[in-house]
Amino acid sequence: MPRALALAFAVPLAAQLACGPLLVLIAPTVPVYGVVANLLAAPAAPLATVLGLAACLALPLPLLQSGLAALTWLPAAWIAGTAGTFAHLPNGQLPWLEGAGGAALLALLGAAVFLTVAVARSRWPRRIRAVAIMLVAAATGVAAGGAALTSVAGPLTLPREWSILACDIGQGDAVLVRSAGRVALIDTGPDPAALTGCLDRAGIARLDILVLTHFDADHAGGADAVVGRVDRLLHGPPTEVDHELLLQSFADAGAVVDRAHAGERGVLGDASWRVVWPRERSVAFPGGNDASVVWDIEGGGVPHTLFLGDLSASPQRAIAASRTLVGPYDVVKVAHHGSADQAPELYEAADAAVALISVGLGNDYGHPRAETLDLVTGLGAVVVRTDRDGMVALWRDGAGVRVWHDGRVGGPG
């Protein structure tokens, strides 16, 4: 490189190599565009610093201080704009190992970069440089491959025919349903980043319908990831001001926001759906888990599926007694991550071939509980669960319901 350009790159590169191992202790990610972003922001930093200090010192002179502060805004706005632009670029952060091990590994990679680009060849044996170059190349390949698998190449890792896709987002629910190119999402899981990763892997940019069954963090905590990407939002009863604010954020971003109630119907592509629960203006179940939206969908290649949210046994019995279920179902999304608080009569009425449990690995609740697993398997259902199986895909073909999973235990299946 020309000397001036090399120097310009050297400063932010050295800063990232030196600070990276410390920063991953705070957040286990590596900024992909950090060097370029810092290179573009760097010229404004001394201007912002000097002018900002001068504005502080000019406090006794309000007119002068206002002028200096206005001048400071220009380089500060450039720095902020640069940071915001690069932060929103795709795959801007690569996940990294947590803790001291992650810091040590990143420090080793930094040393390899140093040996590769900064040390004269004559000072080091060829083998040492060769090992350093291979390490850098391997890390670059893994990073590029991982980024591709969570973006443009992500859909290639999934069955092309999927119509139901349970995201592996930890302890919570986030399930995609697709028919004729239209997509619905039932709940968002607890973490916007985990939900974004699932949507990117599935190649989903926009949602025709978002169903927020209720507002617990493990079902609605990831909602920020899809604000501005939803055409219609169906939701359970809000019980707090924060819930209303979340709904307003979707409405402000252009979504049609509706409170779901039993008997409501609609279509998703070639599939038909209906709301089974909650009852409109219910006194017995005014909000929370027991007022979870229960969604029934079938047709258009989608297995006949019943999503039970986080219902406890009491509202489950009310649904079973109402005789509104139209079984047998192909799939039932087991309520409340497989907790023990279940009504056998509802699962008997559903008579599902597959029991889908969205649950986090090693969760503190002991979900799914053994008695619930015994209940659904005793009724003849095949159990698939995200803690053990990772991401789960289901679809219907001439042979019935097909199931595919990542296979965290035992490989893909």
Domains of the chain (ranges, CATH numbers): 3-149 (no CATH), 158-405 (3.60.15.10)
Query: What gap in Å lies between CA 220 and CA 345, rounded to an integer?
Result: 28
Q: How confident is the model at residue 409 (pLDDT cuts 50, 70, 90)?
A: very low
Q: Which residue has the higher pLDDT, 236 or 136?
A: 236
Nearest one of 334, 331, 286 to 309, comparing CA atoms: 334
pTM of the model: 0.71
Strand-pairing partners, residue 93, are 31
Strands 256-259 and 29-31, sheet pairing: unpaired
For the cut 80, the answer to whether the pLDDT of residue 117 exceeds it is no
Distances (CA, A) of 48 to 36, 75, 235, 240: 19, 5, 46, 42
178-231 pLDDT, tens per residue? 999 999 999 999 999 899 989 988 999 999 999 999 999 999 999 999 999 999
57-91 pLDDT, tens per residue? 999 999 999 999 999 999 999 999 999 898 878 76
Q: How confident is the model at residue 408 (pLDDT cuts 50, 70, 90)?
A: low
Q: How confident is the model at residue 413 (pLDDT cuts 50, 70, 90)?
A: very low
Distances (CA, A) of 377 to 344, 372, 373: 12, 9, 6
